[in-house]
Structure 1
Amino acid sequence: MTHHSDLNFLEDLFLHTASLCLWRFSPSFELEYSNSLTVAPLKNIFTLSSSFQYMQEHFSEKNTPVFLFDDLFFLWAAVPESVNDSLHAVYLLGPVFSSTTSDSYVKEKMDIQNMSVKSQKTLLDIIEQIPVMPTAFFSRYICQLYYTLNGISLSTDQICMQTQTAMPVAHTKKEEASAKHDSYFLETQLLKNIEDGVLFSNFSSLFASAQIGLMCPGDPTRQKKDEAISSTTLFTRAAIRSGVPAETAYNLSDYYIQSVEAARTITEVIQITETMYSDIVRHIQAIRQSTATSSLVRDCQAYIDSHLTEAPDFEQLARELGYTKYYLTTRFKKESGMTISEYLMSRRIDYAKTLLNNPYMNIQEISESLHFSTPSHFSSVFRKLTGMTPTEYRKTLH
């Protein structure tokens, strides 16, 4: 049975440090309590969605926490409390966004749901208060709550994921076939958003519930890995079409494919794919923000981006572009607002953030791969640009 003082403390901690609300459902899935200030509209969104049905089906078979994605764009987590191996209560955490959500996407989803103008206005007001929290971070709160409720430690790879949207029992063969392959329109829209540098809201939900063909029957983890690799290939091509240097895009692709292959669970695969997706979109956003600069400066930036793990020769670059090194560095500073060295360090630190996601690389290896003189120099530059050391940053990821 739950220690109520511990649960109350955890509830306050979640609410005041992460704006994370707690909901309690009875074993028959009746809402008994919530500390949310907007209970009615959020309750309606969740309980009327397919996630509510999926949650009931999940706990009829399992007693492990599960990520849930409702019919709009919210991410939730359901955590069971068990007494004598029987379901005593279900605690719901959320909602949160797994990535930044655009207003246009929110409005589009509300139109699809045929929400009234008044309901839309209410929901848009609520959305401003909902935190953005990647699933990797959200997982930690789930583990803490599960331990408080059951006195049992839980690892993040034990958290289940809603793998499909609940469907009516009676459906046609045509619907079954369409469920096996993502909508071509959805794929086209997703790739267009990537090329435009716009984060697609609820990406984790889309990828978790998608099935790009039946590539590996009988092995769901291998199936999801193959889907992730296919997505990485598509996203890499979209990045190159958007102006990301091919070498940069392929380096990212290689890293994330290796990370996917090293993953042990479906949850890990989804988290890695979500990170890959956000990383590629950030690179495209950076390219688009630099379009105001001249082709000379863009060529210089592209050269730096493709030589982050080398010692770039700017004398040689200037000669190849037909200018002196002095002219190149002066023009670069005037248009970009930073020196070439500052830009190089900034891009290396951005790439270091990607490498820090790889638990098999230590700080010294990352420092050496990015041509820092010493690990302490790398740490000093990293802290200057991010406000934390590489070790502190890695802890926020894992």
Structure 2
Amino acid sequence: MLVCFIYCIFVLSLLMEEDLSMEKIKRDCHYLYQGLYIPMYIYKNTTLLGTWPEQEAYTLPPIPYLHRLWEHRETVSYLTTSFGSCYGMIRYCTDSSISVILGPVSSTPYSKNVLHRMVQEYVVAEAAKDSFSAFFRSIPVSTLSLFLDHLLLVNYVINQMEYKKEDIFAQPDTYQEEIIERQAEKIYIRRENEYFNNSLEIEQKFMQLIQNGDPDGLRKAFREPAFLNSGIVAGDNLRQQKNNFISAVTLMTRAAISGGLEPEAAFQLSDLYIQDMEKLSSPDAVNHLLSEAHLNFASQVAGARLSITENHDLQKVIQYVRQHTNMHLTVESVAEHTGFSRAYLSHKFKTQLGFNLSSFIIRSKLEEAKILLRYSGKSIGEISSYLCFSSQSHFHNAFKKYFGVTPKGYRDGRL
């Protein structure tokens, strides 16, 4: 009798301990959601135990994505969905049957087209479409890097265990393996049929013309016969052309910046073209706008070059500096790589442009820093190191001197 009593007490203590652990996880999720505003879900095996915020069943993570996450045995993992968002998972270290799911988060606001695809994937009834869209639009936009930081924070709070981003990126993904298998099969079929993707050669030619600021060269290239075999990236012709447009404009933007166009102007031009493209309803209209974008980017590069200098030697130096901002540049190293003497280059810069080459090197690095601060998830320390500043304080002081605001202030939107 005493043995039975002791056994009952033991079982009850285990159940109470389990209940207390679950209550702690729920409490943690509640407060984490209040700070991050990223939806959170607790599952025990496949049973849903809690959601933050409270929501309808049609906004819960789709079962196929949950199964892909649960296939991972690691403590922390994540995946990317077909609509470009991310879900993350943390396993409870003392009971692997319990998992906390975060997401989805997206690096851009959800467009009507994306939400339409999500409605189909989540199997949402017609009457619930508006509330479904409102739910996902309420989730803060986040870069992948920032989302992984949040995932690691949640893991630390729940498991009291440190995990690094490298550990997450090193994980195998069955979906990636499936993609590799499909890629190999497509390569085999294309080679058997002697059908090759030649888009790289044509892209490189067009991007070089943009970088050189040569709209006339582009017009000539447009008139030349070309048979473009590109990959299939969408289920219908219009979406295929729009996806190709976005990829092309991204390449144009980088080519234009390398050619001398101010980064802010290049990114603004890119945003405007992509916004206008999404309003179009025919593949021909998209292709026409794409041709216009090529010419406009090249023309703006040509204008930017003329606004700095028409001297060919100096244009060569300016292009070299702008393309190598992530290297340790000095007047001596630039002179050596561009084939000029240090004395000639220093004199030419000062007399033709009115400022020193060393000042231009710093300014070019700081312009690149503005791009990274606004459009990447890299920390300020990582950016400082990437651009080869001697220290983070040197980067901080130089940035504030040139732009009147600290790197953090610029990233937070105070400029």
**Could you say if the C-alpha distance between residues 7 and 180 of structure 1 is closer, same or farther in structure 2, counting changes exceeding 3 Å?**
farther
Give CA deviations for 1:357-386 in whole Å, capped at 9, x if unaligned: 6978866973469xx9x6563153478445
Query: Aligned to 1:95, what secondary structure does the other structure show?
Result: strand
Give CA deviations for 1:24-56 in whole Å, capped at 9, x if unaligned: 1112x111110224342221xx234x2122123
**Offset at 1:240?**
6.8
Kindly indicate whether residue 48 of structure 2 is the aligned counterpart of residue 31 of structure 1. Answer: yes
Kindly indicate whether residue 332 of structure 2 is the aligned counterpart of residue 285 of structure 1. Answer: no
How many residue pairs align between the two structures? 287
Whole-Å separation in 2 of the counterparts to 1:174 and 1:134: 28
Determine which of 36, 56, 62 is the counterpart of 1:47: 62
**Offset at 1:106?**
0.7
**Could you say if the C-alpha distance between residues 7 and 300 of structure 1 is closer, same or farther in structure 2, counting changes exceeding 3 Å?**
farther
Kindly indicate whether residue 181 of structure 2 is the aligned counterpart of residue 163 of structure 1. Answer: no
Kindly indicate whether residue 99 of structure 2 is the aligned counterpart of residue 79 of structure 1. Answer: no
Whole-Å separation in 2 of the counterparts to 1:69 and 1:3: 30
**Offset at 1:147?**
3.0
Whole-Å separation in 2 of the counterparts to 1:162 and 1:283: 40
Unaligned runs of 5+ in 1: 198-237, 249-279, 327-339, 394-398
Q: Equivalent residue for 1:185?
A: 232
Give CA deviations for 1:117-170 in whole Å, capped at 9, x if unaligned: 5444333222220122222222222223223333332222222667344999xx
Could you say what the CA RMSD is over the residues aligned between the two structures, in angstroms?
Answer: 5.4
**Could you say if the C-alpha distance between residues 111 and 179 of structure 1 is closer, same or farther in structure 2, counting changes exceeding 3 Å?**
farther
**Offset at 1:175?**
9.3
**Offset at 1:91?**
0.8
**Could you say if the C-alpha distance between residues 192 and 315 of structure 1 is closer, same or farther in structure 2, counting changes exceeding 3 Å?**
farther
Query: Aligned to 1:185, what secondary structure does the other structure show?
Result: coil
Whole-Å separation in 1 of the counterparts to 2:383 and 2:177: 43
**Offset at 1:243?**
3.0
**TM-score (normalizing by structure 1):** 0.53
Unaligned runs of 5+ in 2: 1-17, 190-196, 198-229, 235-239, 273-295, 310-314, 335-344, 355-359
- Percentage of identical aligned residues: 10
Q: Equivalent residue for 2:14?
A: none
Q: Which has the larger radius of gyration?
A: 2
**TM-score (normalizing by structure 2):** 0.51
Whole-Å separation in 2 of the counterparts to 1:42 and 1:355: 27
Q: Equivalent residue for 2:258?
A: 245
**Offset at 1:316?**
5.9
Letter of the aligned partner of 2:98 in structure 1? Answer: A
Query: Aligned to 2:91, what secondary structure does the other structure show?
Result: strand
Q: Equivalent residue for 1:216?
A: none
Query: Aligned to 1:124, what secondary structure does the other structure show?
Result: helix
Query: Aligned to 1:33, what secondary structure does the other structure show?
Result: strand
Q: Equivalent residue for 2:398?
A: 378
Kindly indicate whether residue 116 of structure 2 is the aligned counterpart of residue 100 of structure 1. Answer: no
**Could you say if the C-alpha distance between residues 344 and 379 of structure 1 is closer, same or farther in structure 2, counting changes exceeding 3 Å?**
closer
Greater shift, 377-386 or 121-130, is seen at 377-386
Query: Aligned to 1:154, what secondary structure does the other structure show?
Result: coil
More helix by share: 2
Q: Equivalent residue for 2:388?
A: 366
Q: Equivalent residue for 1:16?
A: 34
Whole-Å separation in 1 of the counterparts to 2:409 and 2:182: 53
Kindly indicate whether residue 249 of structure 2 is the aligned counterpart of residue 196 of structure 1. Answer: yes
Q: Which structure has more RCO (C-alpha within 8 Å, separation ≥ 6)?
A: 1
Determine which of 159, 163, 168 is the counterpart of 1:154: 163
Whole-Å separation in 2 of the counterparts to 1:63 and 1:325: 57
Whole-Å separation in 1 of the counterparts to 2:104 and 2:397: 41
